[in-house]
A and B are shown apart, each in its own frame.
Chain A
Amino acid sequence: MTLENLMNIIIEDAKKEAENIIKEANKNAEQIIEDSKKNAISKALEEEKNLIRKAKEEAENIRNTILSEARIKSSWMIINEKTKIIDEAIEKTKEKLKEFTKSKEKYTEILSKLIINAGITLGGGELEILLNKQDIKLPLDIKNLEKIIEEKTGKKTTLKIIDEDLQTIGGVILRTKDQKIIINYTFEGLIESHKRYLQKEASKILFSE
């Protein structure tokens, strides 16, 4: 073995060792990267439980919101429909009242009753009667009405029909002479003032099982 050979061997061995070191380093590097990936996945999977739980909670909230909205909408649909049915019934009642005004005798009787009630409410005295154009022509016994009111209130009463062309399907408006107090017993007025009660009573009948 020559010195040159020996030196070559030394260098070759060093190169081999260097190669091994690099090879080992590359192996370790690959391992480090691989381990890192595994750790990342493992860490992410730890988060999975939490994320899925939150997703389920969110899903439950969304579900509850959607179903609540649907139930509320359902309730409103029923309420709206009931209101519509009642309104239709009230409209039909108005039509019936309009028809009723054509039955002269019965209507006159009702009108007289309304005037007496209004007169009593006003406490008698000098009162004015407002009627629509058709009702002015009705054969109302004014003297008799004055007498009944006087009897009920104990106050001298005079009733005077005022021609003001009242716009109503029927009924009467009674007012004091000084127009300070007015009683509206037109059918529209009566429906309006009794609206809540009418709705309640109609609802009882229409929607009872």
Chain B
Amino acid sequence: MVYPLLAGASQWEECWFAFIQHECRLVPEREANYGRKLFLAIFKEKLINLIISFFYLEKWLNMSQEIKPLKKGKKIIEPLESIIETEKQAIRIIEDAKAKAKKIIEDAKIKAQNEYNIAFQETIFKINEEASLIIEEEKRKADFEAKKIIKDTEDKIKDLREKASKKIDEAIKKMLSIILMEE
């Protein structure tokens, strides 16, 4: 967006605003003749009139150069103020937007930290669940093996008792001989 008369405006653009100013205030009369015609031509929005308007504009431009700089400055000061005011308003809108954007980013950072914590905790929770499953699975396997050990032992004991029962008479005989001092 170019803001004429504020920064680096071309001569043509400067004159355009001077013209508007001129048409609004209608001073001095010499300029008014050209300026009014140009103004009307533009607002009729006809191409031919527009071309004519350029013609008048050129003449007006030549003529306006005769106006003293101080006078010219006075003529354009009021619309300039409006534009500057508008510009200020525009800057405020943008500054507000920037502040709002800053707030959005700051809020986002806070939210991001919260989201980080939640996502981290959730992921860790899932990993812990996986870890728990590993432990549970190993425990289940170990319990199964332990039961097998006990079952095998029970079978071993049955076998032990069976074998011992066949030899019990021999053992009693031996103990009797010890008790009765036959050895």
Interface residues of B in 139-172 (CB under 8 A from A): 139, 141-143, 145-147, 149-150, 152-154, 156-157, 160-161, 163-164, 167-168, 170-172
* Cα-based distance from A113 to B183 in the complex (angstroms): 13
The answer to whether B153 and A74 have CB atoms under 8 Å apart is: yes
Q: Which residues of A contact B123 (CB under 8 A)?
A: 40-41, 44-45, 48
A138 within 8 A of B: no
Known: A3-B82, A97-B179. A29 touches B108 (CB 8 A): yes
* Cα-based distance from A19 to B154 in the complex (angstroms): 82
Where chain B touches its partner, the secondary structure class is helix
30 A-B contact pairs sorted by A residue (CB < 8 Å): A3-B20, A10-B1, A10-B83, A11-B93, A13-B90, A14-B91, A17-B97, A18-B93, A18-B96, A21-B97, A21-B100, A22-B104, A29-B107, A29-B111, A32-B105, A40-B116, A43-B120, A47-B127, A52-B131, A55-B135, A59-B137, A67-B142, A81-B157, A82-B160, A89-B168, A97-B176, A110-B180, A201-B174, A205-B171, A206-B164
Query: Distance (Å) between the CB of A185 and the closest chain B CB?
Result: 9
* Cα-based distance from A125 to B146 in the complex (angstroms): 64
The answer to whether A25 and B104 have CB atoms under 8 Å apart is: yes
Interface residues of A in 71-106 (CB under 8 A from B): 71, 73-74, 77-78, 81-82, 85, 88-90, 92-93, 96-97, 100
B138 within 8 A of A: yes
Q: Which residues of A contact B87 (CB under 8 A)?
A: 10
Q: Which residues of B contact A32 (CB under 8 A)?
A: 105, 108-109, 112
Partner of A92, one of B97, B120, B172, B174: B172
Q: Which residues of A contact B116 (CB under 8 A)?
A: 36-37, 39-40
The answer to whether B174 and A25 have CB atoms under 8 Å apart is: no
Partner of A202, one of B104, B160, B171: B171
Known: A202-B171, A206-B164. A194 touches B138 (CB 8 A): no
A167 within 8 A of B: no
A35 within 8 A of B: yes
Q: Which of under 10, 10 to 19, 20 to 34, or 35 or more describes the interface residues of A?
A: 35 or more
Where chain A touches its partner, the secondary structure class is helix
B175 within 8 A of A: yes
The answer to whether B100 and A22 have CB atoms under 8 Å apart is: yes
* Cα-based distance from A117 to B115 in the complex (angstroms): 94
Known: A9-B1, A13-B1, A62-B139. A70 touches B149 (CB 8 A): yes
The answer to whether A17 and B179 have CB atoms under 8 Å apart is: no
